[in-house]
Structure 1
């Protein structure tokens, strides 16, 4: 089949080999953002059409609101520096536009809503600055609701319900990745627009908190939303999934949600880590730091890579397509899952 539109519902646009001195730190600043020529060349070579990147405050010691504004400004500068390669995505129509123009669409997304603080007017400010996706929580609880590792498994707080409403008013995606089960279910039920789980796995296949139950997956899909499957250690109990495990989770998600609601959200870059031996030492320090900070997830260990070893690098999307073909998937279904479904979901939320 011809290469379909490929949209990574949560990924990275950077070279993990470019700045090893910062790779293990939670205290990332906007000055650590690097988009070098290898990043751009390999993103193009992979067939990637668009990617939802994480910017702004997710975790760490920074002040969330000013840090988030600084990172938005930094990414705006990056896009200005690479106009022939990158296109800021504001509407669903920018995704096919990026493909037609030979550029990579860059979607601004949050992985925590803490930067909103208690000021709902900041939602409009972030929307005007180009943010299009807001994940409600990271792994821990915040003032909006519970993350997947929060022991209480509460639903949304009163402020969280008001935030979901305001996000809908501004036509921003409500992303329920990392959320606790009850937070996810409540947000999906009360949202006025379809919601998403941009990067997750299926709890029915691997019972870990970062994965979603069939009830969560089905509710999001039944209300017109989107579910992206990640390339992460949480896909198997061993923490060492293979490309076939990614396919298994995609197959299960389609069985539960239908073929019009599922896609990919790898949670990683196109450019692969070159030296896995050296990376192991960095990884151990990073996992330990996350644990000390209280933001780690069950199934996250010093020996579990945050990627699938045999499904990484510039050929990752082509390899996944080939595996789906071997499972008997039609070209039409593959095209939906690789990017068509996210684009259609984006149209329902953002418009053209």
Structure 2
């Protein structure tokens, strides 16, 4: 295709995973944003990849830290990171900001949660998060919380009464309701309850790979029918073997497009642009990290010591260009590819963020 499309990663990272601080963080269950490394390589490679904007994870996900206080601290951390790199980064609070990032050659940073535990029992905190620039709130991580069931929770775990109040408040404050890690019952309940289109920012298709972290056609279709967004990840859950390849990413995108239509599908890689340089050394650390997640009860079915949490042949600076090339080979038009690579997310953001 000619020209550079908007490239929006609906869930990703800004990090140099080879830096000493990030190597240490990778061994922890709930690393702080302060432990990730936004260095010259991180920024140069993000920009060189063509990345326009990325939804990063900040705040409480799991562990023993106080959820609300830790989340506010993480927002402070990222505000300082962006303030220190204004030539390279732009905090995104409106869809227009994504276009500004593209125009300026910067990378837009969307603040997002992967667990809404930090809300506690105080709905008013959602207004605080919105005022601080948070724009995406995932209701649950893999385990259940007081809002609903995660993908590893019992199948009957649905959206709770308080979870409905949270969805209402997220709608009121124009924040995305992200159901990526939610269990199927909670996901369907939240889609039905929300007055505003919802998203599944990083997932795969369960019709192709039957794992709980992937979404059923019913979930995908319902999200799309209400004007929502689905992002396909670059994760091991795309293959029954756990060793997903670029071809698997394309197949899951194609299935999602067939189910949802081309106006509702994008990408949410769940990884950084900068690739891990020493895969052998990383493989040795990975087994320990997976064991820790399993012991803590926060891992997803399909996580194993021998499966990388990324797609080996679709990573690094060229990952987005390579995906575009594979979609072109699939026969997709430039218009459809532009939608998948970023335009669909921006259009969805305009529907939810009101600007």
**Partner Cα distance (2:319, 2:37) in 1:** 22
1:334 pairs with 2:337:
yes
1:141 pairs with 2:144:
yes
Find the counterpart in structure 2 of residue 348 from structure 1: 351
**Partner Cα distance (1:110, 1:21) in 2:** 22
CA shift for structure 1 position 33: 3.0
1:284 pairs with 2:287:
yes
**Partner Cα distance (1:80, 1:70) in 2:** 15
TM-score (structure 2 length as normaliser): 0.98
CA shift for structure 1 position 31: 2.7
Secondary structure of 1:93 counterpart: helix
Find the counterpart in structure 2 of residue 260 from structure 1: 263
1:153 pairs with 2:156:
yes
CA shift for structure 1 position 152: 4.2
Structure 2 gap segments, 5+ residues each: none
**Partner Cα distance (1:249, 1:139) in 2:** 21
CA shift for structure 1 position 204: 0.2
Of 273, 296, 300, the match for 2:303? 300
Find the counterpart in structure 1 of residue 4 from structure 2: 3
- Runs of 4+ more than 2 Å apart: none
Structure 1 gap segments, 5+ residues each: none
CA shift for structure 1 position 28: 1.6
CA shift for structure 1 position 29: 2.6
8 Å CA contact retained: 2:60, 2:118: yes
Q: How does 1:93-108 map to 2 (within 5 A)?
A: 93-108=96-111
Find the counterpart in structure 1 of residue 94 from structure 2: 91
**Partner Cα distance (1:233, 1:191) in 2:** 30
TM-score (structure 1 length as normaliser): 0.99
8 Å CA contact retained: 1:30, 1:70: no
**Partner Cα distance (2:81, 2:14) in 1:** 11
Secondary structure of 1:24 counterpart: coil
**Partner Cα distance (2:178, 2:92) in 1:** 17
Of 24, 42, 45, the match for 1:42? 45
Root mean square deviation, CA, Å: 0.7
1:15 pairs with 2:38:
no
